[in-house]
Amino acid sequence: MPQIYNEYVKGLMLITETAQGVVEFTRLYLAVFYTFVALFYTSKIILAKKSSGQEQVFPGQRFCTSWWNHLTFRLFRVTIWMVCVVRLFYPSTDAYLGMFTSMMNVPIIFAGNILLTCGFLTTIIVHLSMGSQWRSGVDPQGPNSLITSGFFRFSRNPMFVAIGVSQLGFFLALPSIFSLACLIIGIVSLYRQALVEEEHLAQTHPNDYARYSASTRRWF
């Protein structure tokens, strides 16, 4: 019996150490991940604008739906990045995030890291596949044509779907009231922005978009 008990205790200690290791790895990973995301999109927008001579970001008129969506998303992206960097150097920050301790286990956190990474990689692939037609927001002068191939065969908003998956991954990787609020607000912003962009496409390409929307789902 003592031997069985000792093995049981060792097993619990191993599980605890593994879980703690995953938590600490994720702490570092989230800080590096969101720093990379910020650098990637900032440099991508600057370089694309410089090479094409055209604006890449169109938040819309001040206080319109698209403008609010862009503002909300930017604020939360910056907040998420800052929180992830701060908690890397000050782990005690977690006490203010409203952590869901029951979800702080290896399978959930690991799944979160996978979804976070896959969602972002898919976002990049969709982004690059759009080439020079990619815009953030609604370009009053475009697009010249609809993209209905590639990922757009399966979803009218594949990039938004990928971003949503990544946002879900963030919640699972850092299960807390903070990340849950980011998830809910992020999904609502994506949905509202999808409606704005779909309305624009329906106006600029009425016949083509009507056929496209009839054969392809909004999400998946």
Give the Cα separation of 127 and 44 in Å (integer): 10
pLDDT of residue 13: 47
> Rounded CA gap, 120 and 37, in Å?
8
Mean pLDDT of 183-212: 93
Domain ranges of the chain: 2-215
Nearest-angstrom CA–CA distance, 162 and 170: 12
Return mean pLDDT, the chain. 88
pLDDT band at 58 (very low <50, low <70, confident <90, very high): confident
Q: What's residue 102's pLDDT?
A: 92
pLDDT tens for 78-99 read: 999 999 999 999 999 999 999 9
What local confidence, expressed as pLDDT, does residue 49 receive? Answer: 77
Better pLDDT: 136 or 19 = 136
Cα separation, 127 vs 188, whole angstroms: 21
User: Helix %, strand %, coil % for the chain, to 5?
Assistant: 75, 5, 20
pTM of the predicted model as reported, rounded to 2 decimal places: 0.87
Sign of the Cα torsion 96, 171, 125, 211 reads negative
The Cα–Cα gap between 147 and 47 comes to: 23
Provide mean pLDDT across the span 38-43.
Answer: 87
